[in-house]
Amino acid sequence: MLSRPSYVVWIISTVIAAVIILMKYAGIQIPMLSDIVSGKSFEFLLLAFILLWLGTIIRRM
């Protein structure tokens, strides 16, 4: 049975996705993240989705 993700997991995955979307489509530059994320936006969005998925599948996460 599926459970809802904890508030912390939901916030972390939402923040990751929002930051990556803003960097990709709004052109916002975050000095330390721009070097890490450049060219890997899909992978980081996938990471946010997997984190949210795990929070739904695994209880107490």
pTM for this entry = 0.78
For 33, the token pair is 């993240």
Q: How far apart are CA 33 and CA 29, in angstroms?
A: 8
The pLDDT, as a whole number, for residue 5 is 84
Instruction: Give Cα 4 to chain centroid, integer Å.
Output: 17
Long-range own/partner contacts, residues 27-36 (CB < 8 A, 24 or more apart) = none
The pLDDT, as a whole number, for residue 61 is 55
Q: How far apart are CA 52 and CA 61, in angstroms?
A: 10
List, for residues 3-58, the tens digit of each pLDDT value. 888 888 889 999 999 999 998 889 888 888 888 888 888 998 999 999 999 988 88
The pLDDT, as a whole number, for residue 27 is 87
Q: What is the largest CA-CA distance in the chain?
A: 42
